[in-house]
Amino acid sequence: MASAFGLTTQIYNNHIKSGILLAGFPLLLIGMIGSFFVIMNALMQHIAPGAHTNWAVAFHAGWLGILQYGQWAFLGAFLWFVIAYFFHDKIMRVATGAVPVTRKEYPKIYNLLENLCISRGLTMPAFEIVDSPALNAFATGIDQKSFKIVLTRGLVEHLPDDELESVIGHELTHIMNRDVRLMVISIIFVGIISFLAQMVYRTLLFGGRPNLYSGRDRGNQAGGILLMLIALAILMVGYALAMLIRFALSRKREYLADAGSIELTKNPEAMMKALMRIAGHDELQHFPHEMQQMCIENSHSSIVGMFATHPPIEARIKMISEMTNTPIPTLPPPAAPVPTQPLQAGPWG
């Protein structure tokens, strides 16, 4: 089934998309800087009674603002990605609470992964475990040395072997397609804009405004607040644009990963059963919102389905059934009850 999508083409497309995201980040920052100065100049033109906006002058002011501050956008983007490249592994681990595990601690999941990797001649990624009763998983990393598959303890302890193998195959496909790197870049991309917006918002909310003018009268204080409100509005627009990119990337990649898992395991029924078990049990408490988009399921991101990062599980199951001519199965009793309490750390075989 996955071969129909063309793995090589998908990897190539994801390389292009990663490049576009990397280039688009500083360009979006520059666009936001230019927009700030255009809006400010247009407002300043209206200070005089009866004045009209000269947009040519406003856009010229925006261009001058880009020339003066644009290099800082490129420098900031470069530094952010350097930090993300070298420390994303630790950032992800701290944010998610994932813990590296060895084959000795979790022999079964390593054996399942090894069989899948041998069938394709792949280097095995590492495993990490999140101590949560939720049924979920995700892959992360930006290169061969940092690729890893992260499973929840609830998933490992609840799913039968064939269904667990399907989930591992799903996450391995994200790594094979290189869309895991694309998602890490998109999280970084959205994260910096979100951070700047929150910083401006908190400054407005709790005070401590910078003295943007040399004067100290009320008019200048109001001007400082206006500047920060405009900056916040522009940041929010940039954040919304970045989120739209993220949604588009997330929804398509899940269909492709489902298909890739079936190509690896030759077991579409197990993939459908795994999705059925995960449905309604995927929520990771205290898990960063930006990280949840990387999971195999993220049912709590939708507002009437409008901003869902993942397609509905029912749609994914239907797609698998139709593409493989496999009837949708009746879900048998689980191999183990769905955990409802935090799990105790320790080896599991």
Would you place residue 74 in the very low, low, confident or very high pLDDT band (cuts 50, 70, 90)?
Answer: confident
DSSP string, 121-168: TPPPPEEEEE--SS--EEEE-SSTTT-EEEEEHHHHHHS-HHHHHHHH
Lowest mean pLDDT, pick from 14-23, 153-162, 201-210, 269-278: 201-210
Q: Is 47 helix (H, G, I), strand (E, B) or coil?
A: coil
Active-site entry in 157, 171, 263, 269: 171
On whether the CB atoms of residues 279 and 313 are closer than 8 A, the answer is yes
Q: Is 337 helix (H, G, I), strand (E, B) or coil?
A: coil
Strand ordering across the sheet containing 137-140: 99-101, 126-130, 148-152, 137-140
Q: Write out pLDDT tens, residues 104-130.
A: 999 999 999 999 999 888 899 999 999
Kindly provide the b/e burial profile for residues 68-99, where b requires at least 16 CB atoms within 10 angstroms of the residue's own CB.
Answer: eebeebeeebeebbeebeeebbebbbeebebe
C-alpha distances out from residue 158 to 12, 164, 278, 284, Å:
36, 9, 10, 15
Would you place residue 154 in the very low, low, confident or very high pLDDT band (cuts 50, 70, 90)?
Answer: very high
Question: Is 171 annotated in the active site?
Answer: yes
Would you place residue 159 in the very low, low, confident or very high pLDDT band (cuts 50, 70, 90)?
Answer: very high
The DSSP code for 100 is E
Does position 253 have pLDDT exceeding 90, yes or no?
no
Does position 86 have pLDDT exceeding 50, yes or no?
yes
Would you place residue 12 in the very low, low, confident or very high pLDDT band (cuts 50, 70, 90)?
Answer: low
Instruction: Output the pLDDT for position 83.
Output: 78
The DSSP code for 215 is -
Lowest mean pLDDT, pick from 52-56, 160-164, 219-223: 219-223
Instruction: Output the pLDDT for position 301.
Output: 54
**Helix H segments across the chain?**
7-44, 55-96, 107-120, 153-158, 161-177, 179-206, 218-265, 268-278, 289-292, 313-324
Where along the chain do its domains lie? 2-324
Does position 4 have pLDDT exceeding 50, yes or no?
no
Would you place residue 268 in the very low, low, confident or very high pLDDT band (cuts 50, 70, 90)?
Answer: very high
Greater model confidence, 144 or 152: 152
Does position 349 have pLDDT exceeding 60, yes or no?
no
